[in-house]
Amino acid sequence: MTIDLATKALLTQFNQQSATMQPHKPTIEESRLGARAMFLSLAGDNEPGCQVEALRLPAGTHDIPARLYHPQQLLVPDAIVLFIHGGGWSLGDLDCYDGLVRSLCQQSGVRFLSVEYRLAPEHPYPAGLDDVSTALSWLHQNAAALSITTDKVALMGDSAGGNLAIALSVRAARMLKLPVAAQYLIYPVLDVHQPHDVYPSRMQFGNGDYLLARSAIDDTRNWYLTADETSDNSEVSPLLLSHLDDLPPTSILLADFDPLFDEGYILAERLKSVGLLRRLARFPSIHAFFSFGVLPISQQARSQLARQIREDLLT
């Protein structure tokens, strides 16, 4: 297996920059600023034509900022994808993922709703999951106004957003009683309970040389959970779900050089065994590559996923 050449060059740049920095454990504020700067600088050019509408979804004591994306050519007018961004439940925002969502929206011809859920550690579990649950309920409640059908609402999330998406799918089936047409999980984090050495990919690619480090996974878990919460909760570590029958048809996109590869692959195999795996796509890149629009492999992955979304939601 050989890593994508453009990804390798970007990794070399990352690691050279890290080597020149003084050893320092960043604060949460510094981590957020650093992540935002990285995502915006590597986002690439915006997809032309997509129109964006700013919204605030009511959630009781607060509002949830959101953006509704309309493609220039609406090819599946009765469908929508609820997009949940990554960032270890503690980083990221609407701006960081704006370019990615625009690209998927425009290429698929499907509308997207991107939500800015509350972040840990200020708002630990289950605040973020509660917010995306509210967003899903809002879509169903406003289906007529949006001209969508309730059985064509899909979920998508990357990394911790993928974690929230699968937890939301289970909630939708068991608690909210809301249909989910499909879910798209992009290198999801699925297990923050078991030790890292359970997963060879965590040990092989988690030293920090491939962007995402094991220590960062630990930090984000600790920010996400209070002392009263345990990491073996299946809403936190969905790979520990005893059965997957409640999940919708699921597509999983993985990066081969990602510490999270193994857990995503294990989930894909489990879904395949119960007939719920729609597609597994693998790319020779790193965690977060899908957001780095400057990489040709990111553009390739986006085009493939956008085409699949359109085909899935047309049927």
Task: Tell me if 152 sits within 8 A of 76, measured CB to CB.
Answer: yes
Q: How far apart are the first and last CA of the chain?
A: 35
Task: Tell me if 56 sits within 8 A of 63, measured CB to CB.
Answer: yes
Non-local (6+) Cβ contacts of 144 within 8 A are none
Which listed residue (31, 108, 159, 251) is catalytic? 159
Give residue 114's Cα distance to chain centre. Answer: 11
Which listed residue (31, 131, 158, 287) is catalytic? 287
258 as an active site residue: the answer is yes
**In the β-sheet with 51-58, what is the strand arrangement from edge to edge?**
51-58, 63-70, 111-115, 80-84, 153-158, 183-186, 250-255, 277-283
Distances (CA, A) of 61 to 64, 66, 109, 131, 193: 10, 16, 34, 11, 31
Which listed residue (4, 98, 219, 258) is catalytic? 258
Name the nearest CA neighbour of 183 among 276, 256, 303, 283.
Answer: 276
Q: DSSP of 103-156, one letter per residue?
A: HHHHHHT-EEEEE----TTTS-TTHHHHHHHHHHHHHHHTHHHHT--GGGEEEE
User: Interior CA angle at 303 toward 119 and 287, to 5°?
Assistant: 40
What residues are annotated to the active site? 159, 258, 287
